[in-house]
Amino acid sequence: MNRNVQMRRLAWVGALVLIAAAAIWLNNSSLWTAPGAKPTLLAHRGLAQTYGTEGLTATTCTAARIFPPEHGLIENTLPSMRAAFAAGADIVELDIHPTTDGQFAVFHDWTLDCRTDGKGVTREHSLPDLKRLDVGYGYTADGGKTWPFRGKGVGLMPSLDEVLAAFPDKRFLIHIKSNDPAEGRLLAARLQSLPQAQLQRLMIYGGALPVAQVRERLDVATMSGATLKRCLIRYLLLGWSGHVPADCERSLLLVPVNYAPWLWGWPNRFLARMNKHRSGVFVIGPHDGEDFSKGIDRVEDLTLLPKGYAGGIWTNRIDRIGPAIAKQ
């Protein structure tokens, strides 16, 4: 083949590659999408006691390793939620367990032994029995020398119904702690009686099977670990084209801040795409391959976010991040 012909063909190929690259860049540039006014703040478990995350396992009693208390609030209680909203939270995350009398108790742990003066599996008790417990009983910051919340959490474990009645105009992320599909059906049945406006302020996440049951019955945003993984992997493969995978629709996306820049169109174009498909995006703390519960918990962590970031922020320290965002 004539050398000049080869050169011309290579030039055309190079031009086409440059045109394609430019088109992809334009399709994913955040410069073309204006950000919103301010981030949406999600307070994990309300305003809670925090703890060291090193070496955590599924059975670690986190109440027994809290940092020295800076406030007197206990997670997943009405006072904790009220304080979180007052500190600037737009959404409060809470954990639920079904009870033997058909209610839902708001409590984090699968068993009662760590945080309370009770024993056994949480869902094997009735709501009245759970309400007799002291949810502050097991907290210590000094290896058991002192117990700063003992006697202060008696009767503070709320039901889901009580939370929704106390905050009818607030947004919540409800965490299903099991992978039992029957739990999803039960939760959907209880939430169906809510006014539509209140229902639309809720999001649900947790085990894949119960979340799928909720998704079939309620028009709310949902997420499981499986749907989140599929969403992000498929978006990484196809998002350059602007395609939003089905698993990313009507969903909740938790994105480690150190992974976020790899998403096509991050931040503004990505946020706009997900918003169009009724999905909320929340940045969490850096993921190191082990701990997936870190939040944006220090004021200096806000520097990890793009300038003008207007998506969601997941935090365990709304008392720090809320005032910092308010000053921006």
* pLDDT confidence of residue 8: 61
* pLDDT confidence of residue 141: 97
CATH number reported for the structural domain that contains residue 308 in this entry: 3.20.20.190
pLDDT at 2 over 80: no
Q: Same domain, yes or no, for 96 and 224?
A: yes
pLDDT in tens, 145-194: 999 999 999 999 999 999 999 999 999 999 999 999 999 999 999 999 99
pLDDT in tens, 198-207: 999 999 999 9
Mean of pLDDT values over 48-76: 92
Q: Who wins on pLDDT, 211 or 53? A: 211
Q: Same domain, yes or no, for 17 and 157?
A: no
Is there a contact between 220 and 249 (Cβ–Cβ < 8 Å)? no
Q: Same domain, yes or no, for 309 and 239?
A: yes
* pLDDT confidence of residue 226: 96
Q: Same domain, yes or no, for 27 and 86?
A: no
* pLDDT confidence of residue 292: 54
Average pLDDT over all residues of the chain: 91
Domain tally, the chain: 2
Residue 12 pairs in a beta bridge with none
Q: Same domain, yes or no, for 104 and 198?
A: yes
Determine the residue type at 154. V
Q: Same domain, yes or no, for 27 and 58?
A: no
* pLDDT confidence of residue 32: 53
Mean of pLDDT values over 268-272: 93
Structure tokens at 122: 């949480």
Residue 66 pairs in a beta bridge with 51
Radius of gyration, CA atoms only, the chain = 23
Question: Is the Cα dihedral 287, 290, 292, 295 positive or negative?
Answer: negative
Instruction: Give the global pTM.
Output: 0.92
Residue numbers of the domain that contains 136 = 33-327
